[in-house]
Amino acid sequence: MKKFLDLISEEMQSAFEAAGYQADLGKVTLSNRPDLCEYQCNGAMAGARQYRKAPIMIANEVAEKLKESMVFSEVTAVPPGFLNLKVTESVIKDYLQGMCGAEKYGLQMPEQPKKIIIDYGGPNVAKSLHVGHLRPAIIGESIKRICRYAGHEVLGDIHMGDWGLQMGLIITELKKRHPELPYFDENYQGEYPVEAPFTITELGEIYPTASAKSKEDAAYKAEAMEATHKLQNGERGYRALWKHIMNVSVEDLKRNYSNLEVEFDLWKGESDVQDLIPNMVDKMKKGGYAYESDGALVVDVKEETDTKEMPPCIILKSDGAALYNTTDLATIMDRMDKYQPNKMIYVTDKRQNLYFEQIFRCARKTGLVKPETELLHIGFGTMNGKGGKPFKTREGGVMSLESLICEINEEMYRKITENRAMSEEEAKEISGIVALSAVKYGDLSNQASKDYIFDIDRFTSFEGDTGPYILYTIVRIKSILHKYFEQGTGQKDTDTAGCVSVLKDDGTLDPAALKTAQSPSEKALMLELTRFHAMIESAYEEAAPHKICAYIYDLANAFNHFYHETKILTQEDKVKQTGWIALLMLTRDVLVDCIDLLGFSSPEKM
């Protein structure tokens, strides 16, 4: 379907044309003055100079042409030359009927779907997830879902940090604790045990211990670096240990991410591309892009138009070791080879802005990607505590993701059970769902690049711009619909106008059930629904989940306003009632789809 704004713009464009002006002046936009009108058109002002005419005269002439319009119920020319507009109830109704009957409400699908890889999450293996991992997971997951909904083919890649010093540290510490294990016996020829010599809990303790020791003890650190080096050069026992570390941590990561309803299609990591590095480096050298500078191998990525400093991209350190850069570049090469994506999106802390700029330029310059391959970095801001400083535990430490989620679940549980009687099991399940909405909406409702304050009290509130408020609204609609269909009236209802019931024989909403708005609040709700397509389009184009939040907040408010003014279930006029029920169903469906794009779901009651 066309976007509603485009549809009504067409009507305006025809009017400009009919009045003797260029059609493209008739662009309609949302009103700046919602108190006066629903939409506006500033084309008369834009055309004044070209036609050497006072804008108000043009506006008047255009308004004249729209007297009989089926699209605009009110067209007012106001000085100096604005056209203030209201649309007819019937054009809205027709549009919503079209939405009801169509897949994804008639959202236009791309003619050529893109293949998109989203690189997000990026946890380092063997360290437990902490609050710092929340944003990349939440934002990346939502962007992934939005791209998919917009009709593209999308792969989410976790891109684990699984090849660095942390592995050497763990190996070193294990060796100190259990020197007798076969992994440390260089002469060992047999098969290694299938079972890992540690559990995830132990692993969670081994890493921080080793990391702390290495900071105090230079010899220990040297040992860990040596172990890392050996691992990377293929030492058999270390590789076997590495596999154990991977298996144990990936299982733990999967559990953690799935608690957040975050799912990856590709569980790849830095280790996966190590073998590709020599070849890539070779090509960069042969192509004349990479050269030696102070012993290191670098590629210049500076451009003439740069106003800020743009250091060269270091490909290999002077000791020949690969870096974070090298791995990211090799990963780009690997992705191009295996998946031929049109676009790659990276979701990381915005402090990596410059880093990704370097990587992208280097990938382009050295021909790792095609000229038309889009590379996009979405840098997010810091999640701060109430004091405005990065979020910490009460003791000032880095909070594990699990404790954070636990804390919010408990707070939600307390709120949910406060005034409601339900079984403990049910309360737990519901509070888990609502808590996730609190965390995700709290994060996603801010523009990603901005810092925000993680405020549990505000996020878990049932009022205001919060996840629980949105869920509360959905649950309210579900409950009205439940009651309506329980009453039996909804099943096979015929209204006086003919044979229109809310549902078709297959149980889906019958678009014909929707009626024209009867009241301003109903019209306002319907108008919100017409904005869906434009909103999804810009959320996709700008990779901006906050646009969905802003939209569903408006939609929920419009619904609640309508609900408070309308007696739906006791309404005797069945035509009206059927229309409202249909409107409720559409509103519910749109809200439910939108929260799915944000990465959470709604309970049946709360």
140 interacts with ligand ARG by CB under 6 A: no
Q: In this structure, what are the phi and psi dihedrals at residue 365, rounded to the nearest 5 degrees? A: -60, -40
271 interacts with ligand ARG by CB under 6 A: no
Burial 368-385 (b: 16+ CB within 10 A, else e): bbeeebebebbbbbbbbb
442 interacts with ligand ARG by CB under 6 A: no
Give the residue, chosen from 119, 141, 465, 493, that forms a contact with ligand ARG under the rule CB under 6 A. Answer: 119
162 interacts with ligand ARG by CB under 6 A: no
Closest distance of CB 180 from ligand ARG, Å: 33
Cα(398)–Cα(130) distance, integer angstroms: 7
Closest distance of CB 544 from ligand ARG, Å: 20
Give the residue, chosen from 47, 55, 122, 156, that forms a contact with ligand ARG under the rule CB under 6 A. Answer: 122
Contact in structure between 313 and 359 (CB atoms under 8 Å)? yes
Cα(475)–Cα(470) distance, integer angstroms: 9
441 interacts with ligand ARG by CB under 6 A: no
The alpha-carbon radius of gyration of the chain (Å, integer) is 29
Give the residue, chosen from 13, 40, 172, 348, that forms a contact with ligand ARG under the rule CB under 6 A. Answer: 348
Q: Toward ligand ARG, which CB reaches closer, 119 or 252?
A: 119
Per-residue binder mask for ligand ARG (CB under 6 A), 276-315, x = binder: ----------------------------------------
- Outline where 385-531 has alpha helix (H): 401-418, 424-444, 456-459, 467-486, 520-530
Closest distance of CB 517 from ligand ARG, Å: 48
Q: Toward ligand ARG, which CB reaches closer, 159 or 476?
A: 159
Q: Which residues pair with 72 in a beta bridge?
A: 87
Task: Give me 526's structure tokens.
Answer: 């319907």
Q: In this structure, what are the phi and psi dihedrals at residue 556, rounded to the nearest 5 degrees? A: -65, -40
Piece of 45-53, 118-126, 383-391, 418-426 that binds ligand ARG (CB under 6 A): 118-126
Q: Toward ligand ARG, which CB reaches closer, 269 or 545?
A: 269
Contact in structure between 228 and 321 (CB atoms under 8 Å)? no
Closest distance of CB 576 from ligand ARG, Å: 54
Looking at residues 167 to 206 of the shown chain, list those that interact with ligand ARG (rule: CB under 6 A): none
Cα(539)–Cα(297) distance, integer angstroms: 40
159 interacts with ligand ARG by CB under 6 A: yes
223-229: which pairs have CB atoms within 8 A and are 24 or more residues apart?
223/172, 224/165, 224/168, 224/169, 224/171, 224/172, 225/165, 225/168, 226/168, 227/167, 227/168, 227/169, 227/171, 227/172, 227/175, 228/164, 228/165, 228/167, 228/168, 228/171, 229/168
Closest distance of CB 101 from ligand ARG, Å: 42
377 interacts with ligand ARG by CB under 6 A: no
Cα(449)–Cα(350) distance, integer angstroms: 7
Piece of 88-96, 119-127, 167-175, 391-399 that binds ligand ARG (CB under 6 A): 119-127
Give the residue, chosen from 97, 124, 232, 445, that forms a contact with ligand ARG under the rule CB under 6 A. Answer: 124
Task: Count interface residues toward ligand ARG (CB under 6 A).
Answer: 8
Contact in structure between 410 and 570 (CB atoms under 8 Å)? no
Closest distance of CB 458 from ligand ARG, Å: 28
CB neighbour list of residue 595: distance below 8 Å, 6 or more residues apart: 437, 470, 471, 474, 552, 601, 602
Piece of 62-70, 117-125, 174-182, 372-380 that binds ligand ARG (CB under 6 A): 117-125
328 interacts with ligand ARG by CB under 6 A: yes
Q: What angle do CA 173, 177, 181 make, to 5 degrees?
A: 100
341 interacts with ligand ARG by CB under 6 A: no
Q: Which residues pair with 115 in a beta bridge?
A: 153
**Taken in order 588, 589, 592, 595, is the CA torsion positive or negative?**
negative
Closest distance of CB 252 from ligand ARG, Å: 16
501 interacts with ligand ARG by CB under 6 A: no
207 interacts with ligand ARG by CB under 6 A: no
Q: Which helix (H) or strand (E) holds 592?
A: helix 574-598
Closest distance of CB 119 from ligand ARG, Å: 5
Q: Which residue is nearest to ligand ARG (CB)?
A: 122
Cα(299)–Cα(281) distance, integer angstroms: 11
DSSP states of 271-311: GGGGGGHHHHHHHHHHTT-EEEETTEEEE----TT--S--P
3-state secondary structure of 97: helix
Closest distance of CB 356 from ligand ARG, Å: 8
Q: Toward ligand ARG, which CB reaches closer, 121 or 442?
A: 121
161 interacts with ligand ARG by CB under 6 A: yes
Closest distance of CB 124 from ligand ARG, Å: 5
Per-residue binder mask for ligand ARG (CB under 6 A), 83-112, x = binder: ------------------------------
Piece of 24-32, 33-41, 116-124, 310-318 that binds ligand ARG (CB under 6 A): 116-124
- Nearest by Cα to 137 from 443, 549, 533, 568: 443
The residues of the shown chain that bind ligand ARG, judged by CB under 6 A, are 119, 122, 124, 159, 161, 328, 346, 348
